[in-house]
Each structure stands twice: as C-alpha cells, then as structure tokens.
Amino acid sequence: MIVRPATLADLPALLALAHSAGAGLTTLPADARRLRSRLQWAEQTFAGQASRADADYLFVLQSAQGEVVGICALAGAVGLREPWYNYRVGLFVAASKNLGINQQLPTLFLGNDMTGHSELCSLFLHADHRQGLNGRLLSKARFLFLAEFRELFGDKVIAEMRGYSDEQGVSPFWEGLGRHFFKMDFADADYLTGLGNKTFIAELMPKFPLPTCLLPEPARAVIGRVHPNTEPALGMLKAEGFAFKDYIDIFDGGPLIECATGDIRAVRDSQVLQLSIGTPGEQAQPYLVHNRQFADCRISVAAARVAAGTLIVSRDSARALGLPAGASVRAVSLAVPARQMSAA
C-alpha cells in the first residue's frame, strides 16, 4: 500500500469510493463535477500554485494492484477565506448575592477561534481494506508530510470528529438545537457545508450564548461525544497527542480535537535517515516511510530497523517507494510508546 497525491486520473476510483461511503462524508461527494473540481484544486496545490488559505493536500491510498481504496487530506488553513464556525463549551455564571444564588452554567459560545489552523480531514478507507496497518498508514501518513514541509502549515492542527447519531442517522444535538433555526434535516445542512456554502450558518445561527440547560437532555448527553464508528480514529489521534479542549461541531456536537504541530508524536519523533536495502531482521518494527518528495510524494509502511543513521528495509519495500539504496527518507515508528497509549 502506498499513500500518494490524488490526481484527476483518480476520478473514477473516487466516485466508486464515494458511492461506498454513502451520504455521511460530505467532502467525498458522489458527484463527478464536484470531485473533478476538488481533484483539479489538489493538483494545483501539489504544483505549488495554492496559498495556505486555499491549499488542499488530498491523498489517496493505492494497493499493490493499483486500486485506490482510501483517501485523506490536509487543509493548509481553515477560515481564511470563509468563516469557520465552532461552539466553545464554556461557563456562564448567574449569581445574586441578595438571594444567595451562584450558578455556573455550561454554555455554548459561537466563534471562529480555529481560524488559521491546519486541519486533518476527508479520511475514508473502503470497508474491504480496514485491516492490518492500512488505517494507520492512511491516517498518519499526513503527519510525515507535515513534518517534512512544516512551513506550509499552521502552528496547530485540528480535526473535527463525527458526532454521535443513532442507527437511523438522527443526531440528538441537531434535533435539540440546529433544527429550530435551520428548518432542515441534518444531512441537508451538512451537505450545504460540504459544498462550501457556509454563509447560511452566519445568517441563521443565533449569535448569543446558549446555556446547555435549555437543550433537551438527549442533546446535552452527546455534546463532545463521537459516533461509535469514529472511536478508533479518535483513539489513534489521542495517542499522537491530540486532545479535546471544549470545542465542538455546531451541527452534530462532535468534538474538535487539537494539537500543537510540533507536539504531534509522529512529527516530533520522525527522523531523516539514509535508506539501506537489506534484511531488517528479527528486531524490525513497522515504520512509516516518506520519500521526502512534494509533488511526487510516496509514503508507505515497511518492516524496518534503524542503525547508525540508516533505515534498513527489504528490497520490496524500497521498490514500493521507488527509492534506491542511499536515498534520504523521513521515517517514524508506528509503535506508540506505552505512556502515550495510556494517556490516550
């Protein structure tokens, strides 16, 4: 498996992926025109023709047989062209000295605090390939690219996690809050934001603070809670250093998690090494390996061993990366230290 930049030639494969994803992934629409437009923009981004405000680093996961089975993306910055909204869960204090009342009320504050940060987005892996190291490769490959080209990204990376919804796709948070102001189903509002149409949020969303005690209990119960299918991805990112700091999605109440770019484990611990072709031996561990290229970026997982500034991999692994012995690579172990796993 190889992670590489997406191109227009991937359009048929991404359309097939979009149909398998269903309606839940608005950034991978089953719409040839919209997908073509995004792929064209991704090609411009990898050609160095996009500013950080517009950069869309879209990657695909390609099997050894040449089949595209997943996508992931990095946004250079959010909110620099259009407002990017979140709720911050804070406190509103209602107090009266005369009555002896002092209440601290959890309250939702609408804001644009994430403006300028880079974003992990558009992660999807076909159900038939969700085994082995494929998921970790697809998700974490972006960190090696980010580590190699730090100047293209912000000082903080964020990720909006899918919020809780029931088996019928109903979001209690949306039903308890958003529906009152938008008068549409959650899927329709989510679809509009996926189109890039966020103006309606500013026009319809109330600007005043909303004490959560005014929401129905089912809506309060899912604030900051992820969809069950998203829990593995959340755990993976927490192990890399991401944390929930009281920001949530305005539609489904899902958590926004964040980490300073330099504190992401895979960014911080990655090393620039010289590639050596040989037998990694019994001490080999799975490593993420990046060929340090921009437009011709290739990232893969290889059983490898680090020794004296070299990364020893098999000939097959070197061939998958398209690299000869002696090439410079960036690599990081996929094994997360136990202390970080326990913290997650």
SS3 assignment for 248-279: ECCCCCCEEEEEEHHHCHHHHHCEEEEEEECC
What contacts 160, CB < 8 A, 6 or more positions away?
119, 121, 249, 254, 256
In order of 236, 238, 241, the CA distances from 342 in angstroms are 12, 10, 11
Task: Measure CA 287 to chain center.
Answer: 20
Residue type, 89: V
> Is 180 one of the annotated active-site residues of the chain?
no
Residue identified by tokens 């990112």 is 237
Which tokens go with 339? 């202390």
Number of Cα atoms under 13 Å in the Cβ half of residue 11: 14
207-219: burial string, b at 16+ Cβ within 10 Å, e else? eeebebeebeeeb
SS3 assignment for 80-95: CCCCCCEEEEEEEEEE
Q: Pick the catalytic residue: 117, 126, 227, 290? A: 227
Residue type, 209: P
Round to whole Å and give the CA distance between 137 and 1. Answer: 8
Which tokens go with 196? 């890039």
The residues carrying an active-site annotation are 227
